[in-house]
Structure 1
Amino acid sequence: MASGRDYRGMTAEQRLADRRERLVTAAYTLFSGVGFGATTIERLCASARISNRAFYECFTGREELMRAVYERCVEETVITVSKAIGEAGPDPDSRLCAGITAYITFVTRDIRRARILHLEVRRAGDILTMERQRAVNSFTEIIEQTMGELPNGLPGRTHLLALAVVGALQELLIEWVLADDRPPLDHLIETALHILRRCFGA
């Protein structure tokens, strides 16, 4: 009976995981570079150094691969922001300042991440509608939980204001990604915090 191992001493499951990871890595660069629309399966396979047949053993198509790349970017960002908030001071303003700073700093640290999260997710169209909405809900919930009840006489509107802040933050990052002369990160952070404080009266 075959052992299930190849010449590199990997099991079939390990080989599959290795190929998936190589494809995700290749897609992270190609989708954020030439874009999702211009990236063919052949190009992905060439970059990942696997066959076209092996691609379909890992993913059903480019759309599923795009979801995997986007969801990983979101997951890593949520973890980073949540950690920063958890390590900040106990007052809402300190925690939100830490969260906004962590978000912008982490996302812009790698232009590929910024492009996937804020540009290619929209260019990909309907295939990522549900994933994008889940991401928006996750970041909206982080703001809601951090702020608690509004102190400015607008009970019941915390969710809507948090959603508005997330939308504004996304537009700021799109501006940063597309600008020929990118605004300094501290300007983005200060602007986002200004919007947030005006919304929540913090």
Structure 2
Amino acid sequence: MSAEQRLADRRERLMTAAYTLYAKPGFAATTIERLCSEARISNRAFYECFGGREELLQALHERCIEESLSVVAKALEEAPGTLAGRVEAGIRAYIGFATADWRRARIMHLEVRRSGDVLTHSRQRAIKSFAQLVENASTDFPPAGTVNLRLVALGAIGALQELLIEWLLADDPPEIEDLVGVAVHIFGRSLGPP
């Protein structure tokens, strides 16, 4: 392998190790030494790939967000041309993608908050991107009155995040279909006519 390929390989091995370790035991409990041991690289090699644990978490979070945005955007493109059809398709795609791997759900919805200021900007960019998807998907169906569609989208996204946190942390987690049903209800009521 060339030096560039070796660097890419190490970076990917670190991303894979972080995907599991940052999900559990979590970002705060995961040391660089543990990441390096899991990825089978030296500490020196870690710093050739990332400036620190925070930079690795940001890269991992952004990868999860980009993948989920792509999945949701595709679902919205293929959705029926009704508000209800778009809401259902987008919600089902997002929840399905997030819950298909508990590690992804934990990184996107728990560790993003638990990491403190580390992911503040990355989290805000993600929320803004998802809010834009919601706005774009519902512009053909303007809400009645003078409600601010951007703020409605932000509120509905916050509700969806809390539903996923409940799924992750509850002793008796709700069924995925229940999450989808409640999220569709919230988005539909929020975005639809009063």
**Residue 133 of structure 2 corresponds to residue 142 of structure 1:** yes
The counterpart of 1:83, out of the listed 61, 74, 78, is 74
Task: Give secondary structure in 2 for the equivalent of 1:180.
Answer: coil
2:169 aligns to what? 178
2:48 aligns to what? 57
Alpha-carbon separation, structure 1, partners of 2:192 and 2:71: 25
Count how many residue pairs are aligned between Structure 1 and Structure 2.
193
1:193 aligns to what? 184
Which structure exhibits the higher relative contact order, with contacts defined as CA atoms closer than 8 Å and separated by 6 or more residues? 2
1:157 aligns to what? 148
Identity of aligned residues (%): 59
Q: If each structure's helix is expressed as a fraction of its own residues, which one has the higher value?
A: 2
Deviates more, 1:130-139 or 1:83-92: 83-92
2:85 aligns to what? 94
**Residue 119 of structure 2 corresponds to residue 119 of structure 1:** no
CA distances 1:168-196 after superposition (whole Å, capped 9, x unpaired) = 00000001000111101111111111111
Task: Give secondary structure in 1 for the equivalent of 2:124.
Answer: helix
Q: In the alignment, residue 84 of structure 2 is paired with which amino acid?
A: D
Alpha-carbon separation, structure 1, partners of 2:183 and 2:28: 31
Please report how far the alpha carbon of residue 14 of structure 1 lies from its aligned counterpart in structure 2 after TM superposition: 0.3
Query: 5+ residue gaps in structure 1?
Result: 1-9
Query: 5+ residue gaps in structure 2?
Result: none
Q: Which has the larger radius of gyration?
A: 1
The counterpart of 2:94, out of the listed 78, 103, 119, is 103
TM-score of the pair, normalised by structure 2: 0.96
Q: Which runs of 4+ in 1 moved over 3 A?
A: 149-152
TM-score of the pair, normalised by structure 1: 0.93
Given that 1:30 and 1:39 are in contact with CA atoms closer than 8 Å, whether structure 2 keeps it comes out as yes
